[in-house]
Structure 1
Amino acid sequence: MLPRDTIHAGPIVLRPPIEGDAETIARACADPETARLLPALPFPYTLDDALRYITEGAAAIWSAGGATFAIADAAGGGWLGDIEVKPPDTRGVFEVGYHLAPWARGRGVASAAVRAVTEWVFAQGAHRVEILADVENLPSQRVAMAAGHRREGVLRDAGPRRGGGHADMVAFARLARDPGEPQRSYLPGLPGGSLSDGMVRLEPLTLDDVDSYQEMASEPDSYIYMVPPQVPDREETVRRCRYTGTWWLSGERAEMSVRDAATGAFAGHIQLMNIVPPLGQAMIGYSLHSRFRGRGFMTRAVNLLAGWAYEATPLYRLVAGTAAVNTASQRVLERAGFTREAVIRALLPAVDGTRHDDIQWVRLRG
């Protein structure tokens, strides 16, 4: 059993929840985004739900071998959130879960609480502490990373989704022997959330882009140059848009929409992928909707992406590949400062079952 301690962590204190927290808890749990990403919470969440959690739920967690704390302001004692340690599983591993009031976010409160609880659990003799976060719950993933937990992979359909179905969950963990240093993505976020040159704007893909992306990718002169050269399943497009944020945080890839800066209309897609930090190399790929061709949009998009990559990351080489017959894509790369570097024979599969030579291009830092 875990001891019923109070944990002090700088500007916050982790203490037992009290009945005086109930109104604040109910107000925080009424947040629609909290309800969407934490499907175990009742919704709508009422004052009675909060009181039931304080008087019954918290006690049950402690009795089962876990722990639950209110995250409170150290100065005034006000409730800011909750953090729970689930009872150890059959492997002796503890899992931590947490949520924060909307008005307490962005101040490092949750990461301080997770770090403090993790180290407290280690002090009780645990060897491993885990965190699971919905692939769409980027704030929770950032908290885990800031608290020194390492991303270990994705567990498919491992969590419930409100309204039915299952969500993929990103697994993080910290071992007792780990140094606990904050984990930082190789790919920082876009400044202000987007890149723009006044005519073109790049933004991370979102689920709102599914229909537009699918329409673009279904055009024959788009998908014939994809690998494989076929129209993607809609489910694959949904997954691409759903996973954009977690791929970005993991440093695996950056998926962006290309938009008309004047209207906000979806014009195309550009990505940074195949990132190899030891080599300082990454590959770019792109597609443009036929309605926006002939206006220089993709050249501008490639320039925006390359400029950001060299300013925000240690990358030294950006490479791209084009089918030998795809002269339009080759012109884009030439105008964006790429030079032809090599020809890889018969690398790319074609729609008719033959294979295209792949012309390789490179743009170096500086």
Structure 2
Amino acid sequence: MTLHSSHDGGRLVLTQGRLTLREQLPDDAAQLADGKPASLVWIDGVPGDGTSRAASMTVAAAKAGVYQPGWGLFAVIRTEDGVAVGGTGFHGPPDHGSVEIGYDLSESARGEGWATDAARALSEWALAQPEVMVVLATTEPENVASQAVLERVGFTRVADRGELWAYELTSPPA
């Protein structure tokens, strides 16, 4: 399925079939970090805790002057109705050819393939950027669902990072 990228009001928007990833700029991220919907309709009313924590990373990067558009948080949105089902994004801009991703789904959206679709689309976009050669992700050893997402996308487990299991992807996902 083809990944389409566009911009809407300065935001990067990635669309692939049933999935739309809409960048959350620092002002939106500040609202999400406070658990507010940030002008989005959320499947469970508000963003999940993981999405709020990721939004805090975008806010902190903006305050530190290191935020780079396109390399922060994205809302995971159902294309058909515009409802946000979670968040995904980067832990920061590329560093020495690599970038790390993360994802979080609202409770009501789990088990329907949204995390797999989001990780696939985000990784595909990242690997198409000239400054990215590797996409990284980490999970806690007991997070079997997240490990399955990464394996479905095509990530390979590599050397652990402390107590976290580490995965990498070096070619566009299938």
Whether TM exceeds 0.5 here: the answer is yes
**Structure 1 vs Structure 2 CA RMSD:** 3.1
Match of 1:362 among 147, 168, 171: 168
- Counterpart pick for 2:6 among 151, 176, 191: 191
Whole-angstrom distance in 2 between the partners of 1:276 and 1:310: 11
Distance 2:140 2:97 in 1: 24
- Choose from 114, 117, 133 the match for 1:316: 133
Partner of residue 37, structure 2: 212
Question: Is the 8 Å Cα contact of residues 15 and 21 (structure 2) preserved in structure 1?
Answer: yes
Correspondent of 2:89 among 253, 259, 271: 271
**Cα deviation 1:302-326 (Å, max 9, x = unaligned):** 1111111122333101111000011
The unaligned stretches of length 5 or more in structure 2 are: 39-44
The structure with the largest alpha-carbon Rg is 1
Offset at residue 195 of structure 1 (A): 1.1
| Number of residue pairs aligned between Structure 1 and Structure 2 | 149
For residues 276-315 of structure 1, the aligned pairs below 5 Å read 276-277=94-95, 279-315=96-132
Amino acid of the residue matched to residue 18 of structure 2? M
Amino acid at match of 2:116: T
Instruction: Return 5+ residue gaps in structure 1 as ranges.
Output: 1-189, 224-230, 348-356
The letter of the residue matching 2:105 is L
User: Deviations for 1:36-73, whole angstroms, at most 9, x for unmatched residues?
Assistant: xxxxxxxxxxxxxxxxxxxxxxxxxxxxxxxxxxxxxx
> Contact 2:100/2:137 (CA < 8 Å) preserved in 1?
yes
CA shift for structure 1 position 274: 4.1
Q: Give how far 1:276 is off.
A: 4.2
> 1:238/1:319 Cα in 2 relative to 1: closer, same or farther (>3 Å)?
closer
Cα deviation, residue 272, structure 1: 1.5
Q: How does 1:1-366 map to 2 (within 5 A)?
A: 190-192=5-7, 193-206=12-25, 207=28, 210=32, 211-212=36-37, 215-218=46-49, 222=50, 232=53, 236=56, 239=59, 247-249=67-69, 253-277=71-95, 279-344=96-161, 347=162, 357-366=163-172
| Structure 1 residues 237 and 291: CA distance shift in structure 2, 3 A | farther
Q: Structure 2 length normalisation: TM-score?
A: 0.71
Instruction: Report the structure, 1 or 2, having the larger helix content.
Output: 1
Which runs of 4 or more aligned residues in structure 1 lie more than 6 Å from their structure 2 counterparts after TM superposition?
none
What is the percent sequence identity of the aligned residues?
A: 24
1:286, CA displacement in angstroms? 1.1
Which structure is richer in relative contact order (CA contacts within 8 A, separation 6 or more)? Answer: 2
Matching residue's letter, 1:362: E
